[in-house]
A and B are shown apart, each in its own frame.
Chain A
Amino acid sequence: MTIVDAHAHIMLEPYASLSPIEPEEVMDGFARYGVEQAWFSSGDALVLNQTDYHRRANDRMAEFQERFGKRFLGLTTVNPRSGEEAARELERAVSELGLRGLKLHGWLQPVSCTDPCLEPLFETAQRHRLPVLFHDGTPPFTSSLQIGWLAERYPGCTMILGHGGLKDLAVTAAQTARRYENVYLQTCATTLLSLRRALDVVGPDKILFGSDGGFANLRWIDYNIRKIKKWNLPSEVEQKILGGNAARLMHD
């Protein structure tokens, strides 16, 4: 069974109460639980809206991608409120550094999906047909339908609801993924009951496994894999969710 963790973080510098874990230790943690590839974004850069910091972070993500090969897939972080500057950094990160997608955290960064400042960033993301991984489920800026609004404007991007609507917006998230072809759901921090209901609404091809792990206790990766196993899905469906869908998405 191939496991791809499409929602992982790595800390590059200390932030709040969190300290960096050595990258080798992080990668060992994912390997220990059978994860063949994880999609990483920098946990600290994500929430610090400083372009210089993002540039250094993206450089380091590219180094890790080179060092760890296909086990490490790097997502870009930018200051989304910086408009053209964010778009230029995304262009550099993708074209020069080889990073593979964009991570946005509209709650902590913070930025509304409807803010015009995002237009240059998403035009660049769409030109490269990038997956965009969102924190979602936390009002007022990261509701599923707000991200759906972006999905409709930028059909060339795949929008990933990184928490499947969390708990309160789980029903809305599933309906959003059903409505928009380019919206996918992810499993981390979503309850098992919500996931069962989401599968009925969106089917097995648009749900991606994610742990949100890598920046604190690495056993959290194990918990999230166990959560999928507790679902008792047919093996073909479980394989799609644990890795097949993510592999298809990154290689299409």
Chain B
Amino acid sequence: MGYTDFWYDAVPAALQADNIYLETSLIDIMNISKAIERVGAHRILFGSDYPESDLSLELEKMAMIEMSDEARAKILGENARELWHWQ
């Protein structure tokens, strides 16, 4: 989601093009919250960027963000499942 240099552009890009998804690794919780609010949970994917970051740390970060159970389920797995047509 743009990480450190291009986080300004990530949400506007996703708003402009429906086929852009945003991924959460290394991004701060304020900007993930903003992306959920503006783009919607249906186009956000959880990621850890392991081994750059730590899977449990990135999961704990997601738990710090207030969102509905439905949104959380989408971000943590359902969106990826749908994207890859997993059964």
Q: Which A residues contact B (CB, under 8 angstroms)? A: 17, 137-138, 163, 166-168, 189, 191-194, 212, 216-217, 219-220, 222-223, 226-227, 230
CA distance A27 to B49 in the complex (A): 32
- Asked if residues B61 and A167 are in contact (CB atoms below 8 Å), the reply is no
Contact residue range for chain B? Answer: 20 to 34
| CB-contact partner of B56 in A138, A166, A220, A230, under 8 A | A230
In the assembled complex, the Cα of A138 lies from the Cα of B57 at a distance in Å of 25
Contacts of A223 in B (CB 8 A): 28-29, 57, 60-61, 64
Within the assembled complex, what's the spacing in Å between the Cα atoms of A226 and B52? Answer: 15
Of residues 22 through 58 on chain B, the ones whose CB sits less than 8 Å from some CB of chain A are 26, 28-30, 33-34, 49, 51-54, 56-57
Q: Which of A137, A193, A217 contacts B51 (CB 8 A)?
A: A193
A66 to B21, CA, bound (A): 47
Per CB-CB distance, the 7 closest pairs between chain A and chain B, nearest first, are: A216-B30, A219-B64, A166-B4, A191-B52, A193-B52, A230-B54, A230-B57
Interchain CA distance A219-B62 in the complex, whole Å: 11
Q: Is the CB of B33 within 8 A of A217?
A: yes
Please name all residues of chain A whose beta carbon is closer than 8 Å to the beta carbon of B65 when the two chains form the complex. 217
- Interface code B66-77, partner A: CB below 8 Å = 1, 0 otherwise? 000000000000
Kindly state whether residue B9 has any CB partner on chain A within 8 Å: no
Q: List 11 A-B contacts (CB under 8 A).
A: A138-B4, A167-B52, A168-B4, A189-B4, A189-B28, A191-B26, A194-B52, A216-B28, A217-B64, A219-B64, A220-B29
